């Protein structure tokens, strides 16, 4: 896919699933594309892992046609190694390459990778130049607003990205120092967007389809990334898209939610792509997350975590969601939820 087509695609649907390690794997990406995430991005993948042909790393790169447009997200500290990894990824026929400059995890930052590169813009520019030169695919990046509150530098980072031929910048509206505390600063994201030429995708703390549309419009961004919100409501992309297109009202949504289909599809995807053990863990995790804000969710979570065998977990989950019928999901956005990750 070329840059023009990718940006046209984003214009038609600006609601994008945020990459999440341990979550946006092969199966979940397929599910989310079917539920209208505009594009999907893999979990972060180590450029060094590709260099050393680490089997686990290579296994993380599988995808199906249905996931297109699909990106593989790379991280690393050495421009040449990242560029070579990008060439390898291009040979796998993905649609674009995403680079991670948002990861706050010390194991990654102490080597100068992830968000640490926002402190060394010379090295940052070198990485972008090396990757853009090495491949013919569009290259996108994901950043934090800066290393800490005193060194927020997204305008400068976006200008470098624009000059180096990057296709878009996704901004998680927190600094590295904030980790997952506090709130994403959407005023800052909007300000950055208004000062730069490169397309910007805003990210952070979008919990509902209404919020997704509101953030998109108020920030002036070209798209929004939704991570944890999609784990509590897997229908958030199709709902946001419908709202944004003016086709729907909130009242009609509960009727369209089909948890039986979602859970059955997840079970079947995991049975194709993962071991029985992974399939079981992922099914439990997703069913538990989806139940957030519904009546009896605490008991449901406790019950399924005691079950064994994917078929039993699937059956219990379908029974639980069927009983809810048209119950509205309560707002749980004030509760702490998955307060750690690689971006
Ligand atoms: C469990 C978890 C794993 C994550 N892994 C990645 C990752 O691999 N790459 C990345 O760029 N961001 C990663 N992130 C950050 C998300 O993409 C996103 O920026 C962040 O969660 C804020 O958005 P949200 O409030 O919509 O979840 C991760 C976040 C979480 C919670």
**Residue 103 annotated among the catalytic residues of the structure:** yes
Ligand 1 center to 294 CA (angstroms) = 24
pLDDT tens digit sequence for 2-26: 999 999 999 999 999 999 999 999 9
Are 74 and 219 within one domain? yes
Residue 298: count other Cβ atoms within 10 Å of its Cβ: 11
204 lines ligand 1 (CB under 6 A): yes
CB 321 within 8 A of CB 260: yes
Q: Going by CA atoms, what residue is nearest to atom 23 of ligand 1?
A: 204
- Which CATH number belongs to the domain containing residue 21 in this structure? 3.20.20.70
Residue 320: is its pLDDT beyond 70? yes
* Residue 64 near residue 36 (C-beta atoms within 8 A): no
Residue 278 domain-assigned?
Answer: yes
Which has the minimum average pLDDT: 137-151, 196-210, 241-255, 297-311? 241-255
Write out the H or E segment, with its range, that includes residue 226. Answer: strand 223-226
Among 208, 224, 250, give the residue marking a domain's end: 250
Closest C-alpha residue for ligand 1 atom 31: 341
Q: Is 19 in the pocket of ligand 1 (CB under 6 A)?
A: yes
Residue 89 forms part of a structural domain = yes
Does 246 share its domain with 259? no
**Distance, CA 98 to ligand 1 centroid (Å)?**
14
The residue whose C-alpha atom lies closest to atom 5 belonging to ligand 1 is 20
Q: How confident is the model at residue 100 (pLDDT cuts 50, 70, 90)?
A: very high
Q: Are 118 and 166 within one domain?
A: yes
Report whether pLDDT(291) > 90. yes
Tell me if 236 is assigned to some domain: yes
- Ligand 1 and 239: CB distance under 6 A: no
Residues 11 and 116 in one domain: yes
In a domain, 31, yes or no: yes
Using CA atoms, how far apart are residues 160 and 132, in angstroms rounded to an integer? 13
Distances (CA, A) of 124 to 48, 106, 138, 153: 17, 18, 17, 13
Catalytic residue, chosen from 74, 103, 108, 212, is 103
| Ordered strands of the 223-226 beta sheet | 15-17, 223-226, 200-203, 169-172, 139-144, 96-101, 70-75, 40-46
pLDDT of residue 325: 76
Judged against a pLDDT cut of 70, whether residue 256 lies above it is answered with no
Q: Is 339 a member of any domain?
A: no
Q: How many domains would you assign to the chain?
A: 2
- The pLDDT tens digits for 189-228 are 999 999 999 999 999 999 999 999 999 999 999 999 999 9
Same domain, 196 and 273: no
Answer yes or no: do 83 and 154 share one domain: yes
At residue 178, the 3 state secondary structure works out as coil
Band of the pLDDT at 247, cuts 50, 70, 90?
Answer: confident
* pLDDT at 252 > cutoff 60: no
pLDDT of residue 254: 54
Ligand 1 site, residue 152, Cβ cutoff 6 A: no
Nearest CA to ligand 1 atom 14: 343
- Boundary residue ending a domain (232, 250, 268): 250
Clarify whether residues 304 and 286 are in a common domain: yes
With a 6 Å cutoff on the Cβ, whether 172 touches ligand 1 is: yes
The predicted pLDDT at position 170 comes to 98
283 shares its domain with 238: no
The alpha carbon of 59 is separated from its chain's Cα centroid by a whole number of angstroms, namely 19
Domain for residue 45, yes or no?
yes
User: Which carries the bigger pLDDT value, residue 255 or residue 315?
Assistant: 315
Q: Does the pLDDT at position 306 exceed 90?
A: yes
Q: Has residue 337 been placed in a domain?
A: no
pLDDT average, residue stretch 292-321: 96
The answer on 234 and 117 residing in a single domain is yes
149 within domain boundaries: yes
Which residue's CA is the closest to the ligand 1 atom numbered 21? 227
203 within ligand 1 shell (Cβ under 6 A)? yes
Which of 77, 121, 120 lies closest to 99 in space, CA to CA?
77
Whether 189 and 162 share a structural domain: yes
Q: Provide the percentage of residues in the chain whose pLDDT is more than 90.
A: 91
CA distance linking residue 242 with residue 245, whole number of Å: 5
Atom of ligand 1 nearest to the CA of 340: 31
- Residue 51 predicted with pLDDT over 80: yes
Residue 78 has pLDDT above 80, yes or no: yes
Which of 250, 270, 291 marks a domain boundary? 250
State whether the beta carbon of 281 lies less than 6 angstroms from ligand 1. Answer: no
Residue 341 CA to ligand 1 center (angstroms) comes to: 5
pLDDT attached to residue 327:
85
- Per-residue tokens: 269: 């995807």
* 69 in Cβ contact with 1 (< 8 Å): yes
Q: What is the dihedral of CA 64, 82, 161, 9, to 10 degrees?
A: -10
| Mean pLDDT along residues 237-247 | 92
Q: Which residue stretches of the chain are H helix?
A: 3-12, 26-34, 47-51, 55-59, 79-91, 106-109, 121-134, 154-163, 186-195, 209-219, 228-232, 236-245, 253-256, 259-273, 276-290, 297-306, 310-324
Q: Could you tell me if 261 and 244 lie in one domain?
A: no
Residue of the nearest CA to atom 12 in ligand 1?
343
280: domain range? 255-324
Helix-then-strand count for the chain, H and E? 17, 8
303 and 234 part of one domain? no
Per-residue pLDDT tens over the stretch 142-180? 999 999 999 999 999 999 999 999 999 999 999 999 999
Among residues 45, 130, 52, the alpha carbon closest in space to that of 87 is found at 130
Q: Out of 74-78, 91-95, 331-335, which region has the weakest mean confidence (pLDDT)?
A: 331-335
What is the per-residue pLDDT for 81? 98
199 lines ligand 1 (CB under 6 A): no
Residue 248 has pLDDT above 70, yes or no: no
pTM: 0.96
What does pLDDT average to over the chain? 95
């Amino acid at each position: 896919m070329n840059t023009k087509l990718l940006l046209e695609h984003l214009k038609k649907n600006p609601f994008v699933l945020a990459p999440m390690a341990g979550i946006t794997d092969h199966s979940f990406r397929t599910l989310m594309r079917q539920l209208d995430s505009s594009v999907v991005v893999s979990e972060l993948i180590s450029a060094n892992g590709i260099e050393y042909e680490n089997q686990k790393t290579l296994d993380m790169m599988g995808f199906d046609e249905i996931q297109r447009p699909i990106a593989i997200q790379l991280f690393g500290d050495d421009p040449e190694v990242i560029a070579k990894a990008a060439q390898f990824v291009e040979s796998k026929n993905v649609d674009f390459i995403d680079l991670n400059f948002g990861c706050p995890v010390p194991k990654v930052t102490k080597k100068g990778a992830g968000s640490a590169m926002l402190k060394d813009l010379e090295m940052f520019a070198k990485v972008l130049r090396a990757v853009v030169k090495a491949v013919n695919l569009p290259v996108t990046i994901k950043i934090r607003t800066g290393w800490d509150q005193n060194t927020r530098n997204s305008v400068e980072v976006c200008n470098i990205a624009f000059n180096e031929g990057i296709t878009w910048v996704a901004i998680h509206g927190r600094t590295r120092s904030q980790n997952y505390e506090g709130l994403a600063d959407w005023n800052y994201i909007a300000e950055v967007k208004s000062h730069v030429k490169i397309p910007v995708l805003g990210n952070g703390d979008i919990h509902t389809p209404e919020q997704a549309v509101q953030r998109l419009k108020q920030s002036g961004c070209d798209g929004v990334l939704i991570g944890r919100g999609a784990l509590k409501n897997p229908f958030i992309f199709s709902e946001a898209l419908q709202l944004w297109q003016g086709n729907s009202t909130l009242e009609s949504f509960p009727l369209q939610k089909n948890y039986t289909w979602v859970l059955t599809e997840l079970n079947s995807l995991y049975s194709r792509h993962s071991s029985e053990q992974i399939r079981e863990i992922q099914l439990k995790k997703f069913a538990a997350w989806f139940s957030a804000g519904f009546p009896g969710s605490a008991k449901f979570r406790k019950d399924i975590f005691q079950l064994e065998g994917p078929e039993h977990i699937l059956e219990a989950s379908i029974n639980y969601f069927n009983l809810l019928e048209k119950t509205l999901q309560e707002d749980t956005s004030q509760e702490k939820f998955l307060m750690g990750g690689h971006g």
